[in-house]
A = this chain, B = another copy of it.
Amino acid sequence: MSLLIVGTVAFDELITPFGESGRIMGGSGTYAGISASNFSDDIRLVSIIGEDFPAEYLQHFKTRNINTEGIKTVEGGKTFFWKGKYHNDMNSRDSLETELNVLADFNPEIPASYKNSEFLMLGNLTPAVQMSVLDQMETRPKLVVLDTMNFWMDVALDELKEVLKRVDVLTINDEEARQLSGEYSLVKAAKKIAEMGPKYLIIKKGEHGALLFGEGEVFFAPALPLEEVFDPTGAGDTFAGGFIGYLAQSRDISFASMKRAVIFGSALASFCVEKFGVERIVEINKEDMAKRVEQFVNLVQFEVILD
């Protein structure tokens, strides 16, 4: 089924204890789109770039069946750029440079051919932009997934709450779930957030895995314990893209299907961190994926013996 992804397409420059990436392709839309393209072949990407964005990068999206009609190029503009340095623990990082550039005036226009997309991923952008996308849809998508962050809770909480009324799945981290709900217990936080709109909540806990709440149930997907995290950039967006891409392909949005989607998203995220940028997630094939998912199965599998 068709999947519309709205997010950033950007340049990143990453410094990790393992080396420096130089200027590479990044952005939430990039990671989510490429991740989703491991499942779905009908992906539409809405974003904004400057004239400095290389044609071969755009071409790369096309080779993965990602429609780029919705990526607007601003004449004379420069693409959003972020430079960051990870600390030795790879869990914390410093932003060295952030140039919003064309992203500062991002007001997405959804192409007519996208307006009936059946699945919609709203990447981490201002709630106003996320709302504008929803308003432009001609038919209500079968499933709307929204990603956001603490920053929008700090500066645009009311607008965020308005958007939340219209989404099905919210993806945030544990601290953000606590901030949004005012509850420390994640079980209580999930209940409060469900009352705000999203019937499903995914709490991303990085190296500690992810929780999926919905339909009165809870599912826990572990993160795969890795020898080395080479570059964590984009892992969250890769997870979200894999999650919705899997659902779009399976045409099944039951809780059981969402559990599988969380595992596939986690598997893709575990690949993502193995190399710089999207380097790893563009090279994996179905066999790699099946092997990785098998590792997740083994990681949590046990046989119960009760008296």
Contact = CB atoms under 8 A, between A and B. Distances in A.
Interface string A225-245: 111110000000000000000
Interface stretch (A70-78, A118-126, A144-152, A203-211): A203-211
Interface residues of A, number: 44
A48 to B, nearest CB: 35
Nearest to A289: B306
Contacts of A304: 260, 263, 293-294, 297
A7 interface: no
A63 interface: no
The complex is assembled from copies of this chain, and their number is 2
A303 to B, nearest CB: 7
A61 interface: no
A58 B217 CA distance: 42
A300 B298 CA distance: 11
Interface of A: 88-90, 184-188, 205, 208-209, 211, 217-222, 225-229, 250, 256, 259-260, 262-263, 286, 289-290, 293-294, 297-300, 302-307
